[in-house]
Amino acid sequence: MLVVDDSALQRRVASVLLRRWGYAVHEATSGEEALRLCSEQRVDIVLSDWVMPGMSGLEFCRAFRALPRDSYGYFILVTSNRDKGAVAKGLKEGADDFLRKPVSPEELRARIIAGERILRMEAELMQKNRLVSDTLYALQQIHDSIDRDLAQARQLQQSLVRRRQHDFGLAKVSLLLRPSGHVGGDLVGFFPIAQARVGLFALDVSGHGVTSAILAARLAGLFSGAVPEQNIALTPGAKGQHHARAPESVAMQMNRLILDEVESEHYCTLLYADADLATGRVRMVQAGHPFPALLRKDGRVEFPGRGGFPAGLIENASYEGFEVDLSPGDRLLIVSDGVTECADPYGHELGEAGLREIMQDIAGRRGEDFHEALIDALARHAGTPEFSDDVSAVLLEYGGPTAS
């Protein structure tokens, strides 16, 4: 507490009262002396006369407010001036309260208690702000750590698709995988079944984020080309050889595995294709995945398929396979619903009609260039390069026996 007055009697009276009420009191005879004292030590409440020689109480108040402080200081001006304009000016310069002379002890104590209440509220608010700041800092640290982990998880997920394209001689396969966030539930891939025969798969786990990505990675391991013994699309044969399961049997195996072994509410859509590159015949199965798109050499686009339930939803679900015959120059595109359900700014989905138009427009592109052109077209349709769902695709470009 600081009492500022050029009158020794007035300082003495106020100081005696304040000390009697339990306050530690400092005294100053002028505004200049009070300002030096406030620069050297913390003062919470100031009781200052307005009219003093040299620096007035109002000028001292203005200078007091300009001092660097880590907490608020409550300033009471004591005046005999009853002009409302003078009071308004004092408030404008930074005073919090006024006492009129002669000052009664009861009013002085009431004003001091009011000032203490405001300072206490300010201290509580500062403490809460510090708590909020500390919490936000801790959350930011956690967010940064999670962000780094997710960035690494994205790299790991992308590494699951080690080969983005491969030339099998009779055909070329290229892959597209673009999560909508750090990681996603889509995965695509291919593996050799036998000479001139390749398996293609595209799967999409429901939901987004880490849990979907983890399940997608686990399911993708079921189509491993490096470890055929673990590949659910293959069965062991004589002399270390492996034979292909029928595509519909692969979907049933996937459905059963998710229901029996994956303790999660997630399910998965799947399109699996067994392509005989020597003949151009492709046997496929759908489990809730979008219909494949067949771009014929002459520019026609077809959407063959049988539909089917997603894997992991219905016990003992049955699936029906279907076949298409590719001629040299034909291309088979397998896409996720992030493509067909890509919406424009008005909410209109691309659909099969939109995909057909895009495929015909970019028919002159090949391999990864085809995928880049597809992404560019989707971005134009959506009005943004940031998609709300994962985008993935498998492109099989068939050359036929003449290509070898």
Over residues 109-167, the pLDDT tens digits come to 999 999 999 999 988 988 898 888 888 888 887 766 655 655 555 555 555 566 688 99
Q: What amino acid occupies position 228?
A: P
Does the structure show a pLDDT above 60 at 17?
A: yes
pLDDT at residue number 161: 60
Burial class of residue 144 in the structure, from the number of CB atoms within 10 Å of its CB (0-12 exposed, 13-18 middle, 19+ buried): exposed
HSE toward the beta carbon, residue 247, CA cutoff 13 A: 25
Question: To the nearest whole number, what is the mean pLDDT of the chain?
Answer: 89
Q: Smallest Cα–Cα separation from 332: which of 401, 395, 247, 399?
A: 395
Q: Which two tokens stand for residue 311?
A: 């894997």
Q: What are the start and end residues of each CATH 3.60.40.10 domain in the chain?
A: 163-403
pLDDT at residue number 126: 86
Does domain 2-126 match CATH 3.40.50.300?
no
pLDDT digit string (tens) for 23-38? 999 999 999 999 999 9
pLDDT digit string (tens) for 253-279? 999 999 988 767 889 999 999 999 999
Q: Which two tokens stand for residue 185?
A: 């539930």
Q: What are the start and end residues of each CATH 3.40.50.2300 domain in the chain?
A: 2-126
Burial class of residue 345 in the structure, from the number of CB atoms within 10 Å of its CB (0-12 exposed, 13-18 middle, 19+ buried): exposed
> Would you mind telling me the total number of residues written for the chain in this entry?
404
C-beta neighbour count of 173 within 10 angstroms: 22
CATH class of 163-403: alpha beta
pLDDT digit string (tens) for 217-249? 788 888 887 788 889 999 887 766 788 999 999
pLDDT digit string (tens) for 338-362? 999 999 999 999 999 999 999 999 9
| Weakest mean pLDDT among 15-29, 156-170, 386-400 | 156-170
- Residue that wins the pLDDT comparison between 102 and 280: 280
Across 287-314, average pLDDT: 95
